[in-house]
Amino acid sequence: MIELDLDPGQLRRIGAEFGASEQDLRRAFARALSRTARSLRSQARQALRQGLGLRAASVLKARLKLDRLRAQGNRMGAAQLWVGTNDLRADAFKGKPRRGAGGAQVGGHSWPAGFVARGAGSGKVMVFERRGRARLPIEVATEPVHEEMVEILDRQVFAEARQLVMKNFRAEVKTRTIYKVGR
C-alpha cells in the first residue's frame, strides 16, 4: 500500500487560482481521488500483465481491489488499492506448457518436479506437481510472484501517483468553477 502526503496548501492555492469554495474543493478532491484510484488500478493491471508475462489481465481482476474512504469532518477522504500477491498458477503465464528433461516449463518459467497433463475438469493442458513420492496427490504448479509484483508496482505505477492526483484535482476544480459542472 502506498500513502501519498499531499500538501494542503498546494490544494488551497489551486482552489484560490480558480476561486473555488471550500465545498467545491472537497467535492473536487473526492472525485479526483476516485479518478486517480481507478486510473492506478488500470495502470497496475496493464503493468503487471506485461511485467509478469501473463496470458490475460483477467487473472489480475480479483487481485486488484479498490476501496474508497469517504470524507468525514476535517478528513478529505482516502483511496486504497489492495493487491493480492499470492502465487500464480502456471497456466496464467504466456506460452504453451512443455515437458522438458528437467521438468515442465511455460514461457520462461520452469518447474523441475512438474509434468504436463490435461486438467480433469477443464481438459486444458496444465502443469502439475506431485506432493510426495506417491502417484497421488498432485496439485497445479504455482509460481511465487510477490517480490516481482511489488517491484513492478513501485517502479511503474506508484511513482507517478502524486502527479496524477494533482492533475486530476486541478482538472476537477477547473470543471467545477469555470464550467459550473457538479454544482
Q: What is the pLDDT of residue 180?
A: 83
Provide the 8-state DSSP code for 94: S
How confident is the model over 155-167, as a mean pLDDT? 93
Residue 45 or residue 4, greater confidence: 45
Q: What is the pLDDT of residue 144?
A: 97
* 2 pLDDT higher than 70: no
pTM of the model: 0.88
Q: What is the pLDDT of residue 33?
A: 92
Residue 83 belongs to what H/E stretch? strand 78-83
Candidate from 9-13, 75-79, 120-124, 137-141 with smallest mean pLDDT: 75-79
Provide the 8-state DSSP code for 54: B
How confident is the model over 17-45, as a mean pLDDT? 94
Q: What is the pLDDT of residue 122?
A: 87
Candidate from 37-46, 75-84, 157-166 with smallest mean pLDDT: 75-84
Grouping H, G, I as helix, E, B as strand and the rest as coil, residue 121 is: coil
* 75 pLDDT higher than 80: no
Q: What is the pLDDT of residue 82?
A: 92
How confident is the model over 110-133, as a mean pLDDT? 93
How confident is the model over 136-163, as a mean pLDDT? 95
For the chain, report the end-to-end CA distance as a whole number of angstroms: 33
Name residue, grid cell 492533475: 167
* 70 pLDDT higher than 90: no
How confident is the model over 141-154, as a mean pLDDT? 96
Peptide bond into 8 cis (omega under 30): no
